[in-house]
Structure 1
Amino acid sequence: MSESQNIEWKQNWHDDYLKWVCGFANAVGGLIFIGKDDDGAVTHLENHKALMESLPNKIRENLGIICDVNLHDEAGKKYIEIKVNPYSVPVSLRGRYYYRSGSSKMEMTGNTLNEFLLKKAGKTWDDVIEEGAGLDDIDENSIKTFIKDALKSGRMPNDIGELSTVELLEKIRLLDHGKLKRAAIILFGKDPNRFYPNIKVKIGRFGVNDADLRFQEVEEGNIMELLKTVPNQLNYKFFTKPIDFEGLLRIEKDEYPVAAIREMLLNALVHRSYMGSMIQMRVYDNKLTIWNEGLLPEGMELESLKRHHISRPRNPLIADVCFKAGYIDSWGRGTLKIYEACKEMGLPEPEIISMDGGILVTVFKKTTQLPNDQAVVSTGTMKSIEELQKEFGLLSDRITLGKETNVAFLRSNYGVFTGYLRGKYGVNTEEIRKKHNEKALFVLELISIKSDLTRQNIADLLGISLSTIEKNIKILRDATIIGREGTDKIGYWKIIEQK
């Protein structure tokens, strides 16, 4: 047993650990063991009697909840178990709210806290009434677009065209006692940005790296408008070959599959956090990315997106209207369509990762295999270690491991991604990430790009100490994932095909 979403170990009690109790109560509940080390071994509590008397009172007085506090004895060593149940109402500690996510505790503030409080009240952000909005803020042309598409999809009655705007908004649950909900503004508003910031999609064209911004455009408007203007802008200014976004059934001859790009945009618009940053699309020579603020629903992992999974939209009213219009389905198949569309075109497997409080989806162009198992995009060229280091220097002032990393830069510009490692060598990249750590995976990806790198080269490129690199190389070698051909000075790394 290890620390996880609902288990925490502490050797001794400190009142600051009330934050962990609060976090468990606001999440799915959990167990806190006092008197165990980081490996779960019992260390013994000398003051267990005093804690058994004081802890229930401290929890009740500071948090307003009741927890089971139990004393255990293991071979004469005492430890305490605090059982925290999940609560349907928000629990705070001295006016602050905490939440258990994974194996860590976080304080909720700003938009995160707002969404949490709404959820506890049985509401979602898009279901809240917008007091400052009226029917004059609704764009009639967007309403007509929805009616046309909904009739075409067959998911609404044939008589919806005869309904007034008020009747239609009531029918699709966007009007409550004559007042507009937020979803109505996002879907059909004349100027959504008047009510909420960043109801926009920013599109940038980049060169060799993220510092090389060639040009950019910003599209703004309601969802009905963005579904037209963003594809038009991509075709007009960003794609080498225009894409027919209406021709979803034709044979794909473009650089990217239409279905994948459409799903990427729809997912971002439907599932984004509308009080956060604008949606960002980046077009490179070798890939296309889209990022929207807002993480996956609780309990869902990124790997779930590659298989059948339950649809749990962040904005259910917005999602329902998009479903009725025929833009999305209600079975959680959006990401599967992205994977399937790229596979049918013979493209590398897309990547979906968490980054900077949001979800980043990347689709790649076709890659070309070079000697020494190096993978590069067909439009790119292999570069020397000095050239790589020079390019990295452009990003060095804002590189943070696990977010905007040097490895992310390599993935962006040299076509290496986890799907390549899985497909060519059978490497279980997710197991490496979970069983070992992210850095071991970074090392492996860098070796797959340039197999003759030295340990010091890898340390310099990743911005990690040499000792850490050596530790992670040992992890990969002990797991028989990589080997070394030749000497340390004159030789190269070899990725071993997994059986």
Structure 2
Amino acid sequence: MSEHQHEEWKASWRDEYLKWICGFANAEGGVLVIGRDDEGAVIGLHDARRLLEELPNKVRDLLGIMVDVNLRTDAGLDYLEIAVPAYPNPISYRGEYYYRSGSTNQALKGAALDRFLLRKQGRHWDGVPVPGFGVADLSATALAGFRKRAARGQRISAALLAEPDAVLLDKLRLFEQGYLKRAAVLLFGDDPERLVTGASVKIGYFRTDSDLLYHDEIHGDLFSQVDRTLDLLLTKYLRAGISYAGVQRLETFPVPEAALREALINAIAHKDYASGIPIQISVYDNKLMIWNPGQLPLHWTLDQLTAKHASVPYNPDIANVFFRASLLESWGRGIDLIRQACMAYGSPEPRFRWDNGLWVELPFMVVDEGRTTQETTQETTQEQILALLQAEPALTRKALSERIGLSTDGIKYHLDKLKKAGAIRRKGSTKSGHWEVLK
């Protein structure tokens, strides 16, 4: 016999144990036993009958709740059992909130307290309204990009997509009490980090866990974060194998793009944005790992998360908009889709673990050296840039971006690499100058 989620033992009564009663009330309820030692043995309570009268009133006056206090006897020794029901509303003791988790009683602070209070109110972090932000503060580019995605996916009617921004946002349930929700600011804001610290993605290439070779940070609205992160991973961080089918050149990435995309979108959609910590992607020579700070659904385990389960999105409003934009194909199937994509690609099975958030590890596929020549995707992209600049020296970064299909940030990265390698140089001004291909 031992203490657990629903039972705690104390040898004698102290008023500070009202914190434990508060913790039970805020969690799943439980029983506080007074008169048992740490081993669970009944040692008796000399003032049990007095406490039987006093405690119900003390709990009512200081916590505002009702509990059952029962007198028990074992081998002639009296002890008390205080049965505490779970309360649907938050309960505080002297202005502090406590929560029973396992066999511990925790004082809730910061983001944990925020999550607890929202859950007790039946709300989610991304659904909280934000005074001071209006439709005019959102990015017209992000909203236009959403309309294009949604039109292709046909999960929103063409008539609704033609409505003004305010009407569309309202139909997406991104308004409450006349204010935009946090989800709207993250999804479409020009600079979401004005409101939400750490609403970004960090990528690093590591030789070892402690040896970081280079890194990037991706900021902006959530749609831009998806596109730019995937773009950087495929063009800068992953080494592609090159093979040929006749004269056709084929690139084989070490992980399936479909699995990488699904893992990235799920990390961005289900992140705990109250944490203030960016999503972190670590790339090694043999694997890629994605970590997003998050919270499992109440009472869930990692096994439940990685098995077939009902959809319980951590950020329902963000997930709904991603679904309408066809970024989330089906709620509740993200992990299964990652596994299926790896199996179809012939790459190793992905691994999942929980450590203050979900780690997704995608081991790299070993490319058959006998039939492929290893080249980096960076080299392939730079070859295209050189060919285009040789033919049209006046091409701008934006024009190169459109021709090759990379972001302007990706083009800038490759141009800088080519300049450092002495392959190109810029002649004249940024607006009216041109490129010279040197080798």
TM-score range, shorter chain: 0.7 to 0.9
Quick one: which amino acid aligns to residue 352 of structure 2?
E
Report the equivalent of 1:265.
Answer: 264
Question: Match for 2:260: what amino acid?
Answer: I
SS of aligned partner of 1:53: helix
Please say if 1:123 is aligned against 2:133. Answer: no
Percentage of matched positions with identical amino acids: 43
Q: Which residue does 1:234 correspond to in 2?
A: 233
- Tell me, in whole angstroms, the C-alpha distance in 2 between the residues paired with 1:15 and 1:283: 53
- Asked whether 1:159 is paired with 2:147, we answer no
Is the contact between residue 313 and residue 331 of structure 2 (CA under 8 Å) also seen in structure 1?
no
Structure 1 residues 286 and 76: alpha-carbon distance in aligned structure 2, compared to 1, 3 A threshold? farther
Amino acid at match of 2:168: L
Superposition pairs for residues 100-179 of structure 1, below 5 Å?
100-176=100-176, 178-179=178-179
| CA distance in 2 between partners of 1:4 and 1:252 (Å) | 54
Q: Which moved more, 1:335-344 or 1:141-150?
A: 335-344
CA distance in 2, matches of 1:347, 1:38: 48
Structure 2 CA distance for partners of 1:46 and 1:322, relative to 1, 3 Å: same
- Which residue in the other structure is 1:350 paired with? 351
When normalised by structure 1's length, the TM-score is 0.67
Residues 77 and 328 of structure 1, relative CA distance in 2, 3 Å threshold: farther
Q: Secondary structure at the match of 2:148?
A: helix
Deviation per CA, 1:168-189: give whole Å up to 9, x if none.
1111111345432211111111
- 1:2–1:39 contact (8 Å) kept in structure 2: yes
Q: Distance in 1 between matches of 2:66 and 2:239?
A: 62
* CA distance in 2 between partners of 1:238 and 1:264 (Å): 16
SS at match of 2:61: helix
Kept in 2, the 8 Å contact 1:31–1:83? The answer is yes
- Give 1:361 deviation, angstroms: 2.5
Deviation at 1:302, TM superposition (A): 0.9
Q: Which structure 1 segments of 5+ residues have no match?
A: 244-250, 368-499
- Contact persistence 1:348–1:365 (CA under 8 A): no
1:71 is displaced (CA, Å) by: 1.8
1:69 alignment counterpart? 69
Matching residue of 1:328: 328
Letter in 2 for 1:354: D
Does residue 24 of structure 1 match 2:24? yes
Contact 1:147/1:160 (<8 A) preserved: no
Specify the alignment match of 1:282 in structure 2. Answer: 282
- Indicate the SS of the match to 2:314: coil
1:207 aligned counterpart, secondary structure: strand
Which residue identity is paired with 2:68? D
The aligned counterpart of 1:83 is: 83
State the match for 1:297 in structure 2. 297
> Does structure 1 retain, via aligned residues, the 8 Å contact 2:240–2:252?
no
Give 1:343 deviation, angstroms.
Answer: 4.3
Counterpart of 2:247 in structure 1 is: none
In structure 1, how many angstroms separate the alpha carbons of the residues matched to 2:359 and 2:211? Answer: 19
Q: 1:39 to 1:332 in 2, by over 3 A?
A: farther
Report the AA paired with residue 154 of structure 1. Q
Ranked by relative contact order (alpha carbons within 8 Å, sequence separation 6 or more), the top structure is: 2
Aligned to 2:50: 50
2:71 & 2:104 partners in 1: Cα distance? 24
- The answer for unaligned runs of 5 or more in structure 2 is 243-249, 367-439
Contact 1:23 1:99 (8 Å CA) reproduced: yes
* Rounded Cα–Cα distance in structure 2 between residues aligned with 1:308 and 1:280: 26
Over 3 Å counting, the alpha-carbon distance change for 1:263 and 1:242 in structure 2 is farther
Count of matched residue pairs: 357
Any residues of structure 2 matched to 1:460-471 within 5 Å, and which?
Answer: none
2:358: which partner in 1? 359
SS in structure 1 of the partner of residue 310 of structure 2: coil
Could you say which residue in structure 1 is the equivalent of 2:194? Answer: 194
* TM-score, scaled to structure 2: 0.75
The 1:361–1:74 alpha-carbon spacing in structure 2 relative to 1, beyond 3 Å, is farther
Shift of 1:41: 4.1
How far does the alpha carbon of each residue in 1:299-353 deviate from its partner, in whole angstroms, 9 at most, with x for none? 1111101211122222111111111222224541112223333444341441221
Describe the shift of the 1:46–1:196 C-alpha distance in structure 2 as closer, same or farther (beyond 3 A).
Answer: same
CA deviations over 1:235-291 (Å, ceiling 9, x no partner): 222111299xxxxxxx99432232332222122211212232111111122322222
Conserved? CA contact 2:350–2:361, under 8 Å: no
Q: 2: distance between equivalents of 1:362 and 1:46?
A: 58
Contact 1:339 1:350 in 2 (8 A): no
Q: CA–CA distance in 1 between the matches of 2:208 and 2:268?
A: 28
**1:6 matched residue in structure 2:** 6
Q: Counterparts of 2:113 and 2:81 in 1: how far apart (Å)?
A: 29
- CA distance change for structure 1 residues 364 and 41 in 2, over 3 Å: closer, same or farther? farther
SS in 1 for 2:173: coil
Distance 1:255 1:39 in 2: 54
Distance 1:229 1:83, change over 3 A: same
Q: Would the aligned equivalents of 2:350 and 2:360 in 1 still touch at CA under 8 Å?
A: no
Q: What is the CA RMSD across the aligned residues, in angstroms? A: 2.4
What's the CA shift for 1:201? Answer: 0.3
Amino acid at match of 2:63: L
Tell me if structure 2 keeps the 8 A contact 1:236–1:242: no
In structure 2, what is the Cα distance between the partners aligned to 1:305 and 1:153? Answer: 27
Local SS of the residue matching 2:227? helix
The CA distance in 2 between the partners of 1:253 and 1:67, in whole Å, is: 64
Once structures 1 and 2 are overlaid, which stretch shifts more, 139-148 or 37-46? 37-46
Partners of 1:351 and 1:363 within 8 A in 2: no
In the alignment, does 2:219 pair up with 1:220?
yes
Question: Per the alignment, in what secondary structure is the counterpart of residue 233 of structure 2?
Answer: helix
Closer/same/farther in 2, CA of residues 7 and 346 from structure 1, 3 Å limit: farther
